[in-house]
Structure 1
Amino acid sequence: MPPGGSRSRSWRQVKANALPPGVSVGDQVPGPRSGAASVVVGNKLFMFGGYGGSGRLDDFWEFDFESRIWKEVHCQGPSPGVRENNGVVEYKGSLYLFGGYNGSQWLNDFHGFHIETRTWRKVEPAGAPPVSRFGYVAVVHSHYFCLFGGYDGTTWLNDMHRFNFDTSLWEEVNTSGQIPSIRSCPSWCKDGDNVYVFGGYDGVQRMNDFYRCDLETMTWAQIPGIGDVPTPRYFHSCAVHNGSMYVFGGYNGSDRLCDFFEHNFDTGTWTELEPHGDLPTGRSSLVAQVHGNSLFIFGGYNGQVVLNDFYEWRFQPLLVPPPTLQEDMRKLVNNRELSDVTFIVDGFPVYASRVHLALRSEHFRAMLYGGMRESEKGAEIEIKDVSHAVFLKLLEYLYTDTLSDVTANQAVHLLVASEQYLLARLKTLCEEAIRTSITVDTVCTIFLLAHKHNAEGLKEIALDFVLDNMEGVKDTAGFLELKQEPDLLMEIIFRQAS
C-alpha cells in the first residue's frame, strides 16, 4: 500500500454489531432485496420495501451509522403496501413515498411517515396526481416534492411534476432547455439547487447521457461527456459528496456491473476509480447512500440471486474540514471584547487589535508602536478624512486580505484610503472593483480619480474606454471636468492621434 494508504479507494464489507439483549437474531439484518427505497436522515438510513426474490416487500428498516445496528421499524397507521422501485424523500421530519410497482400494477398513491411517532398516513392531495409509475427521479426542493420520468407499465416518460407540501397540491411543471428523452431507472442526485440525472432505459436502449436541471428555473441542460464516461446502463446507483457525483454498478443489458466512476462538478470530468479491498460483486437495483465521509451500498440483484450484503467505501482516509481562518478573522472587525485600541471615526467608536494592524500596515505600525501619542495604552485615536463605513472595510481587508460586498462608490473612497495607509494590494482590489463600474457617464470621473491617486492600471483602462467611446463620452458632464486638467486632455488627444 502506498504512503498515506489506498484505503481512500477501498471497499469493505459492513458487519452489523450485536443487538441489545432481547432483540432476536432475525431482526438483525434485512433480508435480500432489490429496488428498495432509501433515504438518510441524520444518523439513520431508512429503507422500505423492494423485491425479495419471490415477491414485493413492505417491511421497513433503519440502520444507525453510529452503532452500526440494523433494526426493523415497527409502525402505526396503514402501511403503503408492497412495492419496489419507488422514490422516498424527507421533508420536515417526515418521509414521503410515491408510486412504485407492487408486482401486478403500477402505482401513484402517496404516503407520509412521521419519523418521531413512527406513523404512516396516506396523503390525500388536492388536484390530480401524476400517472402511475416506477423508476422515476425524486427529490425535495424548497417546499416541493419533485419527480421526473419513469415507466407507467406501457410508456416511458419524461414529464416533471411537483407536490406542494404547503398546499397539498400536485402540478405538472413546464420545463425548458435540453429536456432529457423518455426514460426510467436512471441514477440521480441533488446538489444545491440542481438535480443531476445520468443514463436510464427508454424501452429500446440503455443510455449514458447526463443532464442537470436547475430547480429554481426548471431549466434542463445536457452536460458534455469528458473523460472516462460510464457505459450505457440503468438500475445503477448515484450519490453526491464534496463536489463530485459517484456512479456505481447497474445493468447494461447483458451484465450486472461493478465499475465505479466519479464526476467532478468543477472540472466537468469523469474518472473511473480503481478501488481495492472487499469489492462488491456486480449488481443492479441497489441502495446507495452517503453518510459522513463514506458511501454505503446495500443489496441489489447480481443476475442470479437477490442480495443483502452491505458495503462501505470511504472517500478519503480523513475528512479535513474546510478552512475558517478568513471568517474567524472577520469576526475581529469592530469587536469590542477582543480589542485593545479604539478609533473614533465620524464620531463613532471602532474597535481593533493593535498587533494585527501593525503586522499588516506600516502606517499603523508607526502610529501604534512608534512612540507617538497614539501608541499610549487606552488612547482613543481620531481618524479624519475617512468615513465610518470605509474605515470598517479597511479593517476587514487588514484582517482577512479580502473585500466583500463593496460598491463602486465605496471602492472609490477606499482607494483613496488605501493610498493614505500605504496598502498597495487593497489599492489594486479597489481599482478592479471600480473598473467593473465604468460607463460612458462615469469614465471621466474615474480617469481623473485614477490620475490623482496614481492608480496607473485603472487610469490606463479608463483612457482606453474613453478612446473607444469618444462620441458618447465627449457629451457628458464628466468630460467638461477634464478642462481643469489640460495635461489629461492632451494625453487623450495624443493617444487618439497615435
Structure 2
Amino acid sequence: MSSVATAAWVDVPYAVDHRAASYFRGGFNSCAVRGDSLYVFGDLETLHEFNFEKKIWRVVPWNGDAPKPRQGYAGFHYGDCFYVFGGLTNGSIERDFIQYDFATRTWSVVVVNTGIQPAVICSFATVLHASSMYSLQQGQAQSVELHKFEFLEDTEVFGHKNLCMRYESFKALIQAEEQGSHSPRIEITDMSRATFLLVLGFEIESLKQLCANKVRNSITVETAADIFKLADQHRAVELQNECAAMIMANFEVVSKSQAFQDLLLNNSSLVLKMLKPN
C-alpha cells in the first residue's frame, strides 16, 4: 500500500484464510474497490476479496463456469458487477468480456451492442469515469490507442407521445417513426436513468401547472365535483382549492349532482375535509 501522506510504500498486515490463500505471481493483475473490500481476479480462476477492516483475504463464491485465469486484463467495478476484459492465458490473448454479478454470484458474458473491439486486448491502463470505461493500450506500429466502452442501462421510462412531442428532439424522432421508422423506443444515451428521472421531476411539475391552468378554465357548477376529485388525485392543491370554493358557493346545486353523490359515496373523508371550516 502507498501512503499519500508519507509518500512511502508500507506492507499491509493481513490474515490469510487457508481456503483462499492469495496466489498471484505478480503478472499484471487488476483490482477494483467495492464498499470496504478490494477485489482481484488473476492467476487462478477465482475472484479474491480483501476486506480492509478485517484484513482478511477470501475467495468470492460463484455459481456456474468461471472465466479462464489470466494476466494483463482490464478489471474494474461498475454497478454491482466486477468486469474482466481481455488479458493473457499462457501467452494466448483472450478476447472475451465477462462480468461477475455480486447479487446472483454468477459469471456471464457481456453483450456488446455496437462498436469495434480493440485489436490488442492485454496490458491495459484503465479508468472508469461516469458510465464509461476508458482503456489506454499499445496499438499497431508502437502507437498508443485510447478506447472507450459505454454502459447503457437498458431500462424503460414510459411516456405518452403527446407529452414527448413538447421536446424538439423527441418530436423529430416520433415524426420519423410516423414516416416509416418503426423503432419502439427512443434511446437516451447522454445521461443515466437516475438523472433523466430527476430532470423529469422538474419538468412534470411545470407540465402539471400548465394542465391545471387549462382545466381551471372549465370549472363550472356541473364539473366542480369531478375536477375536485381529479385535483386531489394529482395533488394539484391550488386547483382543488378553487373547486372547493366553487362547490361551497353553490353547494345546494352541486350537492344534487351525480358527480358529487359519487364523490360522497366513494370518498366521504375528502368531502368532510372540504366541508370542515378552516
TM-score, structure 1 as length reference: 0.32
Cα drift, residue 234 of structure 1: 1.5
More strand by share: 1
Name the CA shift for 1:149/1:169 in 2 (closer, same or farther; >3 Å): same
Cα drift, residue 384 of structure 1: 6.4
Name the CA shift for 1:218/1:112 in 2 (closer, same or farther; >3 Å): farther
Q: Which of 247, 255, 264 is matched with 2:150 structurally?
A: 264
Cα drift, residue 259 of structure 1: 3.3
Q: Which amino acid aligns with 2:36?
A: H
Q: Does 1:131 align with 2:19?
A: no
Q: Distance in 2 between matches of 1:177 and 1:238?
A: 27
Q: Secondary structure at the match of 1:133?
A: coil
Tell me which residue corresponds to 2:136.
248
Name the CA shift for 1:356/1:117 in 2 (closer, same or farther; >3 Å): same
Q: Which amino acid aligns with 1:143?
A: D
Tell me which residue corresponds to 1:172.
59
Q: Which amino acid aligns with 2:128?
A: V
Tell me which residue corresponds to 1:327.
201
Q: Which of 339, 363, 369 is matched with 2:215 structurally?
A: 363
Name the CA shift for 1:132/1:227 in 2 (closer, same or farther; >3 Å): closer
Q: Distance in 2 between matches of 1:220 and 1:117?
A: 39
Q: Which of 161, 186, 189 is matched with 2:76 structurally?
A: 189
Contact conserved, 2:41 with 2:48, CA < 8 A, in 1? Answer: yes
Cα drift, residue 147 of structure 1: 0.8
Cα drift, residue 197 of structure 1: 1.6
Contact conserved, 1:196 with 1:212, CA < 8 A, in 2? Answer: yes
Figure out how many residues of one structure are paired with residues of the other and give that number.
192
Q: Which amino acid aligns with 1:244?
A: S
Q: Distance in 2 between matches of 1:218 and 1:258?
A: 36
Cα drift, residue 160 of structure 1: 1.4
Q: Secondary structure at the match of 1:189?
A: strand
Q: Distance in 1 between matches of 2:13 and 2:39?
A: 17
Name the CA shift for 1:260/1:181 in 2 (closer, same or farther; >3 Å): same
Cα drift, residue 184 of structure 1: 0.3
Q: Which amino acid aligns with 2:61?
A: N
Larger Rg: 1
Q: Which amino acid aligns with 2:52?
A: F
Percent identity for Structure 1 against Structure 2:
21
Q: Distance in 2 between matches of 1:262 and 1:236?
A: 12
Q: Distance in 1 between matches of 2:2 and 2:148?
A: 33
Tell me which residue corresponds to 1:432.
none
1:264-299 deviations in Å (ceiling 9; x for gaps): 33399xxxxxxxxxxxxxxxxxxxxxxxxxxxxxxx
Tell me which residue corresponds to 1:162.
49
Q: Secondary structure at the match of 2:218?
A: helix
Name the CA shift for 1:267/1:359 in 2 (closer, same or farther; >3 Å): closer
Q: Distance in 2 between matches of 1:236 and 1:251?
A: 11
Map 1:328-347 onto structure 2 (within 5 A): 328=202
Cα drift, residue 163 of structure 1: 1.4
Q: Distance in 1 between matches of 2:150 and 2:54?
A: 37
Cα drift, residue 185 of structure 1: 0.8
Map 1:40-439 onto structure 2 (within 5 A): 111=1, 113=3, 115=4, 121-128=10-17, 129-134=21-26, 135-150=28-43, 157-224=44-111, 227-250=115-138, 256-266=142-152, 324-328=198-202, 359-361=210-212, 362-367=214-219, 391=232, 394-395=234-235
Work out which structure has the larger RCO, using CA pairs closer than 8 Å and 6 or more positions apart in sequence: 1
Tell me which residue corresponds to 2:268.
none
Q: Distance in 1 between matches of 2:51 and 2:191?
A: 38
Cα drift, residue 139 of structure 1: 0.7
Contact conserved, 1:208 with 1:230, CA < 8 A, in 2? Answer: no
1:444-479 deviations in Å (ceiling 9; x for gaps): xxxxxxxxxxxxxxxxxxxxxxxxxxxxxxxxxxxx
Q: Distance in 1 between matches of 2:145 and 2:5?
A: 38
Tell me which residue corresponds to 2:165.
none
Cα drift, residue 149 of structure 1: 0.9
Q: Distance in 2 between matches of 1:173 and 1:229?
A: 29
- Compute the RMSD of aligned alpha carbons: 4.2
Where structure 2 has 5 or more consecutive residues not aligned to the other structure, the ranges are 155-189, 237-258, 260-278
Map 1:464-475 onto structure 2 (within 5 A): none
Cα drift, residue 120 of structure 1: 5.6
Name the CA shift for 1:266/1:360 in 2 (closer, same or farther; >3 Å): same
Tell me which residue corresponds to 1:298.
none
Q: Distance in 1 between matches of 2:228 and 2:148?
A: 56
Name the CA shift for 1:180/1:159 in 2 (closer, same or farther; >3 Å): same
Contact conserved, 1:112 with 1:123, CA < 8 A, in 2? Answer: no
Contact conserved, 1:200 with 1:206, CA < 8 A, in 2? Answer: yes
